Amino acid sequence: MSDKQIIELLNTKLRRPLKLQKKLTWFLKGYCINELGNVIQLNLFKSQFDGQIPDEIFELKHLEHLDIRENNINEVSPKIAQLSKLQYLDLRNNDIKELPSGFNSLGSLTKLYLGHNQFTSVPTCLAELNKLELLDISENNIVELSEQLLASNSIKKLYLNNNELSHFPFDQLRTKHLDELVLIDNPLTSTPKGFEGKVTKLLY
């Protein structure tokens, strides 16, 4: 099945059909294709999904950018591992509590937005994404961080604002590790110490 046929099938499940766009921005729905006619960008925010991501999306094997914010998603299918070329994934403002097995197969992912969901901890599988540079998991219910995440060699921007962290283990960070770390609106019990030389920009 071609990407065009997949989009046509996906449109039968949406209240408003997606339109082909020359360029997509964060406030514009639709999809973009490359010179071969493959769908490489898909914006489906506020499309009123019924708890799960439509399976048709996982058939778009050339997809690089996927925005599915604000869709009442409470579960992410393991089929998302099929999107091996995905570089940008926005799952903000949903009801997700965990990520599926195989999520660490998204080896091309550089930016991941998980803000405003129901996570209580940062999924350890994220530390296995060797190209992940930006992780936004703000506005959740996170109470602790994993050593695996803090040992990540790729993550440079980490957004943890509006969670339930009482402290941040700066001692587990390497020298010159993070370009930006945001801890605003966490119940920190003390002023962060020991981040000098490890975090370029700290907001708390």
Smallest CA-to-CA distance from 135 within 174, 164, 106, 95 is with: 106
Residue 193: the pLDDT is: 87
Q: Give me the tens of pLDDT residue by residue for the chain, a chain 204 residues long.
A: 999 999 999 999 999 999 999 999 999 999 999 999 999 999 999 999 989 999 999 999 999 999 999 999 999 999 999 999 999 999 999 999 999 999 999 999 999 999 999 999 999 999 999 999 999 999 999 999 988 889 898 999 999 999 999 999 998 888 888 999 999 999 999 888 889 999 999 999
Smallest CA-to-CA distance from 117 within 135, 93, 100 is with: 93
Are the C-beta atoms of 177 and 199 separated by less than 8 Å?
yes
pTM: 0.96
Smallest CA-to-CA distance from 90 within 135, 145, 146, 150 is with: 135
Alpha-carbon torsion, ordered 78, 79, 85, 88, to 10 deg: -60
For the stretch 148-164, what's the b/e string if a residue is b when 16 or more beta carbons lie within 10 angstroms of its beta carbon?
A: ebbebeebebbbbbbbe
Sheet holding 39-43, edge to edge: 30-33, 39-43, 65-67, 88-90, 111-113, 134-136, 157-159, 178-182, 199-203
